[in-house]
Amino acid sequence: YSANQSMCPFVRESVETNSFYLAFQPCIGAEERQIRSILLEYIDEFRRLPPFDPHLQHKKCLLVVFPDIPESQANVLDIVHEDAKTRFVEAGLRIGQFHPRCDVRGIHNPAFRAARGPYPLVAIRNMEVHDIVFLSDWKHLDWFAEYNARYGERFRQPESLDETGTGLLPYFLKAREAYVKKAKINPAAI
C-alpha cells in the first residue's frame, strides 16, 4: 500500500481508521494442519478486534503473516485456503492467500496474478456485497447460501439497484442459477 496506489480498495480506509491489523506467526513452517489450525483460531480473534459498529465493519482487516514458510513451499497456503474458506464464509468472513508463487488471477484481467506478494500471508476481512465475484467458485453450495442470506435481498428488485449493484447483478444471477441447479430447488425459494 502507498498513498497513491493500493491493490484492494479497502486497505486505505482500513489503515486510515486504525482498523488494519497484522499478526505474525514466526517459527511456523509449511505444515498444513498447523497452519489451518492457527487460521481457524483467527475467526474468533477477528471478531474481538474493533471497530464493532456494523457501519464500520467493512474497514477491519487482519493479515496473518507466516514469515518462515519457505518460498518453495508457500503453495501450502493455497491448500489451506481452499480447505478453510468454507469455515470463514460461514462466519461471514472473506479470506485470501498471498505469497510469492500464488497463481490466483485477477477477476477482470486473467493475466494479472493478483495474489502475488513478497511474504506468505492470509488476509481476513468481513464479507461485503461485492464478494459475489470472489465466491464465484460455486462448487461449494454453502458459499452462495451464506452470501445470499446476507445480501440476496438487495438483488430481489434489480430495477432499484445502484450502479454497484447493477454491476454485481450478473455475478449474483449466475451464482444463483448454479446454486439452484446443484441444490435442485425451486428458484422462487431463494
111-133 pLDDT, tens digit each: 888 899 999 999 999 999 999 98
pLDDT at 161 over 90: yes
Q: Quick one: pLDDT at residue 98?
A: 95
- Which residues of the chain form beta strands (DSSP E)? 20-24, 61-65, 93-98, 121-126
The Cα–Cα gap between 13 and 1 comes to 11
Inter-CA distances, 55 with 51, 52, 96, Å:
9, 8, 22
pLDDT, residue 6, reads 56
Q: What is the pLDDT of residue 3?
A: 46
Each residue's pLDDT tens digit, 23-63: 999 988 889 999 999 999 999 999 999 999 999 999 999 99
pLDDT at 2: 41
Instruction: From 132, 136, 139, select the one nearest 166 (Cα to Cα).
Output: 132
User: pLDDT-derived band of residue 186, with 50, 70 and 90 as boundaries?
Assistant: confident
Global pTM reads: 0.88
- Per residue in 73-111, pLDDT tens? 999 999 999 999 999 999 999 999 999 999 988 887 888
Q: Indicate the pairing of strand 121-126 with strand 61-65.
A: antiparallel
At residue 139 the predicted structure's pLDDT band, cuts being 50, 70 and 90, is: low
- Longest Cα separation, the chain: 53
Residue 178 phi/psi, 5-degree rounding, is -65, -40
d(C-alpha 157, C-alpha 100), whole Å: 42
Q: Is 53 exposed, middle or buried, given 0-12, 13-18 or 19+ CB atoms closer than 10 A?
A: exposed
117 CB-side CA count, 13 A:
19
pLDDT tens column, 7-22: 566 788 888 889 999 9
